[in-house]
């Protein structure tokens, strides 16, 4: 059976691409009437699960105002020096490409990690470091990143744009960048972007971050490396897929992080569109009188009009510092098998709920609905699998149901779907 079993976690499969297809027919190399076929069966992947000691995966962001960076994975391997299968100097390695005389396992090759068949990370190797030691072990440090990293290495030609929504602009940028990866873009974006020409030499990911700044949604790569764009965050119709609680009857957690600081406070927001606009300001006088002026300024917004800039300025206001649940940590050893499957499937943009109970004070229970902003997996063959979910406050709306005594009233928690 492929993969390796991790204590209390399940079966994990870590695969590296060799970059070539060993079953393909190559002119002047393959044997006629042999086993090689013209189309092959796809790029070969090597299962290295049994060689690994530690894996860390980090995707998304830790706070709502953070910029989304590349999803990353780090892998630690220690194997006897007699095993040179992964050694890039070993031309006798079963993964060495004799046709091109190149190591099969190398930077910019694909890498993927799964648990019980469910993907946790997909990306490309950025670093494949090796260290020989005198104690008889060879150590490998493998680092990988998803396609956000790939896009951060690319630059755009001069590109003329039209007035279009943020999803259409992302498509135009990816086309100009000759991006060939898969995408999943929101069908109902909030922002309409202006017809501003993109200067030659503009970094692809830097421009995507400007689209994100205008839309105020999320742009990231999924677990399967699909470039995903979500609409402006706020309320949601998505019910929590997991409730983390210390009172039983849900998903156990062992750490619930609470932050209560000034960093989220914005009581003065200035937004100016890139061309032909005037500064649009929104402020909260009461907050300014209590907490001084806390300003966020966007001086070159891609939004198409002053009206949209004014709406965005109002959206950015967060007048009061409030205590909030910002991360939840749990160990797979405390979860049931179905719960482990659910947690493995959690994706950025999903909704979860957290419950904290007390034996004194008031209230005795605090429950918050939270959006998933980032996910971190720490997998160790000896200690098991731990997940930390980074969160932001959200409001879950219910679909309006006509004539229903509870859900038939249009208010702050019931909405037309």
Q: Which tokens belong to 390?
A: 């980074």
- DSSP per-residue codes, 99-154: TTTB-SS-TT-EEEEEETTEEEEEEEEEEEEEEE-TTSEEEEEEEEE-HHHHHHT-
What pLDDT, on the 0 to 100 scale, is given for residue 18?
Answer: 86
Residue 222 makes CB contacts below 8 A (sequence gap 6+) with: 184, 228, 347, 348
The alpha carbon of residue 278 and the mean position of all alpha carbons in its chain are separated, in whole angstroms, by 35
Residue ranges and CATH numbers for the domains of the chain are: 4-56+65-145 (2.40.10), 150-233 (3.55.50.10), 236-260+323-399 (2.30.300.10), 268-316 (no CATH)
Rounded distance, CA 264 to CA 119, Å? 33
pLDDT tens, residue order, the chain (417 aa): 578 899 889 999 999 998 766 655 455 554 555 554 555 445 788 999 999 999 999 999 999 889 999 999 999 999 999 999 999 999 999 888 877 788 878 899 999 999 999 999 999 999 999 999 888 899 999 999 999 999 999 999 999 999 999 999 999 999 999 999 999 999 999 999 999 999 999 999 999 999 999 999 999 999 999 999 999 998 766 799 999 999 989 999 999 999 998 888 999 999 999 999 999 999 999 999 999 999 999 999 999 999 999 999 999 999 999 999 999 999 999 999 999 999 999 999 999 999 999 999 999 999 999 999 999 999 999 999 999 999 999 887 644 344 444 444 555 554 544
The model's pLDDT over 333-376, given as tens digits with 9 standing for 90+, comes to 999 999 999 999 999 999 999 999 999 999 999 999 999 999 99
The model's pLDDT over 207-239, given as tens digits with 9 standing for 90+, comes to 999 999 999 999 999 999 999 999 999 876 679
**How far from 381 is each of 12, 302, 306, CA to CA, in Å?**
10, 47, 55
Rounded distance, CA 33 to CA 287, Å? 79
Cβ atoms of 312 and 297 closer than 8 Å: no
What pLDDT, on the 0 to 100 scale, is given for residue 186?
Answer: 95
What pLDDT, on the 0 to 100 scale, is given for residue 98?
Answer: 75
């Amino acid at each position: 059976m492929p993969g390796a079993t991790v204590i209390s976690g399940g079966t994990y499969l870590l695969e590296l691409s060799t970059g070539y297809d060993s079953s393909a027919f190559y002119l002047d190399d393959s044997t006629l009437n042999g086993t090689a076929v013209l189309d092959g069966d796809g790029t070969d992947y090597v299962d290295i699960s049994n060689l690994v000691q530690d894996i860390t995966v980090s995707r998304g962001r830790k706070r709502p105002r953070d910029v989304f960076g590349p999803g990353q994975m780090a892998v630690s391997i220690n194997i006897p020096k007699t095993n040179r299968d992964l050694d890039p100097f070993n031309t006798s390695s079963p993964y060495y490409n004799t046709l091109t005389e190149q190591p099969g396992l190398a930077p910019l090759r694909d890498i993927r990690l799964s648990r019980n068949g469910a993907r946790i990370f997909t990306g490309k190797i950025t670093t494949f470091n090796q260290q020989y030691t005198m104690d008889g072990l060879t150590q490998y440090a493998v680092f990988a990143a998803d396609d956000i990293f790939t896009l951060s290495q690319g630059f755009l030609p001069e590109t003329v744009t039209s007035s279009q929504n943020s999803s259409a602009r992302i498509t135009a940028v990816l086309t100009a960048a000759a991006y060939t990866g898969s995408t999943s873009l929101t069908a109902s974006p909030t922002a309409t972007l202006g017809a501003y020409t993109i200067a030659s030499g503009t970094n692809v990911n830097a421009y995507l971050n400007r689209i994100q700044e205008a839309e105020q949604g999320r742009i990231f790569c999924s677990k399967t490396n699909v470039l995903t764009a979500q609409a402006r965050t706020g309320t949601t119709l998505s019910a929590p897929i997991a409730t983390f609680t210390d009172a039983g009857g849900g998903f156990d957690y062992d750490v619930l992080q609470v932050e209560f600081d000034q960093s989220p406070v914005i009581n003065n927001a200035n937004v100016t569109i890139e061309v032909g606009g005037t500064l649009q300001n929104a402020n909260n006088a009461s907050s300014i009188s209590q907490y001084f002026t806390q300003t966020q300024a966007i001086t070159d917004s891609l939004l198409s009009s002053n009206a949209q800039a004014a709406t965005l300025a109002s959206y950015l206001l967060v007048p009061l510092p409030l205590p909030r649940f910002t991360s939840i940590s749990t160990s797979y050893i405390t979860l049931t098998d179905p719960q482990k499957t659910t947690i493995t499937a959690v994706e950025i943009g999903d909704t979860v709920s957290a419950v904290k109970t007390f034996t004194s004070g008031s209230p005795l229970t605090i429950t918050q609905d939270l959006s998933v902003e980032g996910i971190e997996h720490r997998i160790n063959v000896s200690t098991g699998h731990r997940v930390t979910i980074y969160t932001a406050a959200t409001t879950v709306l219910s679909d309006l149901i006509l004539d229903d005594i509870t859900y038939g009233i249009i208010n702050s928690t019931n909405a037309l779907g």
